[in-house]
Chains A and B, each alone.
Chain A
Amino acid sequence: MDEVQLLTRKINRLEKARVKAEQILEQKALQLWESKQELEKKVKERTQELEIAKDKAVKAQMAQKNFLANMSHEIRTPLNAIIGMAHLMSDYELNNQQKEYLNTLIHSANILQDLINDILDLSKIDSGKISVVNESFDLIDFLNIIKSIFLPQAKKKGLDFLLKIDSDIQNFVLADKKLLNHVLINLIGNALKFTERGSISLIVELHNRQEDKQYITFKCKDSGIGISKDQQEKIFNKFIQADKSTSRKYGGTGLGLSISKKIIELLGGTLEVASEISQGSTFYFTIPLTLSQEKSIIKTSPKKKKDKITIKQILIAEDNLLNQMYLKNLLNKWKIEYKIAQNGQEAIDLMASSEFDLVLMDIQMPTMDGYQATTQIRNTINNTIPIIALTANSFAEDREKAKQVGFSDFLSKPYNPNQLQELLLKYSR
């Protein structure tokens, strides 16, 4: 066979192989295209499924939030009546047995109120609704105010209350005063509760300074019953107290420390405990506080409070008969005249025909609610009269909305007589 023939055979074979390869490749390409189509379809289906699942989750979250708001409202309304009636009843001549029953009633209602507030706080923290709002303030002043709140209570139990502040700490800081306050009040409140003799100390030390921040350690130390090592690991969990007898003997919801721990985490620290049985406990945390300039602080020197209510005529807009009764009794006791509107529309009508010094306005009412009524009063009738929202809606959004439509103040139900009295004093001229 000569070379030309051999070459021809080779070329022939190569040509055939090429054609074959092209066929195979085209088939492969088709298969690839088909599986790509299939994949695209699957991705589309999965995406749709995910969107539906996401939608469901969002709706479930909304439902939960609404449920919480509604429950909060539904529980607060009757609780307001219970607390109110109990306070009114304490004004009567009662025998010792009756007084004891009444005290138990008020005590239990207060516990219930604390529990509702704690649950709401916790759910707000859990859903990330609490954010850190920094303001400038004088830390030393702030700590002294806390001392002045607890000193009388400590003395009443025969305990010392000591406040020790590191002299290296700079007074003026930028921090979330409300959250810090919440935690310190919780910790000192616990210390008071669980200490029968000895002292409670709030020790505030400078941990270190870094650029414009001072890291400050807060220690709340007591000489109380102490917490065993086992229990120390559990007490920061929700609804857990050191042991079952604790809740029977000392009361409380077991949510306070869980809330405080989460707040301290928000503030950039960790809440920890050191304790020995019958030696006392120390709760402590270190958080960064940004240094602030003294002059940027708006000194809110409290206005001289009036010692007498000068308000003479009040308009009450409230549809709940029990809450009406509570208010009527209080105002009668304080010798303040009032008119009652059953809803927002009636309130507006009354405003047009009579003179009032102040309005107490419920939010949820039939016919016309408190938001609409207040908007209308502000727009057309009276732009300056103090209008106070009395409501069982206590979410921050509710307060914000109340402020926007023109309410002057906000009193959340249940409230006790003192709280209302304070507000009336505030708006007395």
Chain B
Amino acid sequence: MKGVVFVGFFELVEKEFGYEMVDKLIDSCNLDSDGIYTSVGTYDHSEMVQLVTKLSEFSGIGVPDLLNTYAKYFGKTHLRKYESFYQEATDTFSFLESIDGHIHVEVKKLYPEAELPKFSTNKLSDNKLELLYSSKRKMGDFAEGLILDTADYYNEKIEIQKKNIEEDGSQVLFTITKI
């Protein structure tokens, strides 16, 4: 997993709970990286799972809610740096449709080692889009937060229906409706 996801996570934890919580998370997890992340590095995905699970434990907030909230923060603070990708699309749907064919192609050029989730889309109508998320990272909740953040960017209101295609969450079907 890209280091920027870890860096962003610690940023938000520090902002919401103070550095003490960051320190506590690092100490209570068994991290190969010792909790030292840089946005240009790549780290094992299991570290994120441990961190989020522990945070849920310490804060009493459910993992899906944590991931959802973090995704919105991550979109606004880190993804917005790649403004041109947003500008090339015209709305939420066209942005989501461009992820696999364009955005992730460019990401691979910069980070050939990156393992990226797949986002297959199927436009049902002008107002309805199906998006199938596939990743062994099982971060459908994170993906959902990112989708909501994207709609924020384009000033659109959307509703998301979520359905696990694989029980373990490695495939999630989002049905997105513009309202």
Binding site for B on A (CB under 8 A): 1, 6-7, 9-10, 13, 16-18, 20-21, 24-25, 28
Contacts and interface: CB of A to CB of B under 8 A. Distances in A.
A152 B30 CA distance: 110
Given A13-B35, A13-B36, A20 B23 contact: no
A28 B35 CA distance: 22
A235 to B, nearest CB: 49
Interface stretch (B37-45, B125-133, B142-150): B37-45
Contacts of A18: 38
29 contacts: A1-B20, A1-B23, A6-B19, A6-B20, A6-B23, A7-B19, A9-B23, A10-B19, A10-B22, A10-B23, A13-B26, A13-B34, A13-B35, A13-B36, A16-B34, A17-B36, A17-B37, A17-B38, A18-B38, A20-B36, A20-B38, A21-B38, A21-B39, A21-B40, A21-B41, A24-B38, A24-B40, A24-B41, A28-B40
B25 to A, nearest CB: 12
B6 to A, nearest CB: 10
A39 to B, nearest CB: 13
Contacts of B41: 20-21, 24
Contacts of B22: 10
Contacts of B35: 13
A25 B40 contact: yes
Nearest to A22: B38
Nearest to A24: B40
A18 B26 CA distance: 18
Interface string B36-73: 11111100000000000000000000000000000000
A16 B36 CA distance: 7
A18 B40 CA distance: 10
Contacts of A1: 20, 23
A7 B18 CA distance: 11
Contacts of A25: 40
B5 to A, nearest CB: 14
Contacts of B38: 17-18, 20-21, 24
Contacts of B36: 13, 16-17, 20
Contacts of B40: 21, 24-25, 28
Contacts of B20: 1, 6
A24 B39 CA distance: 10
A25 B34 CA distance: 20
Contacts of A21: 38-41
A293 to B, nearest CB: 60
Contacts of A13: 26, 34-36
A10 B19 CA distance: 8
A7 B22 CA distance: 12
B112 to A, nearest CB: 9
Nearest to A20: B38
Interface in B1-39: 19-20, 22-23, 26, 34-39
Contacts of A28: 40
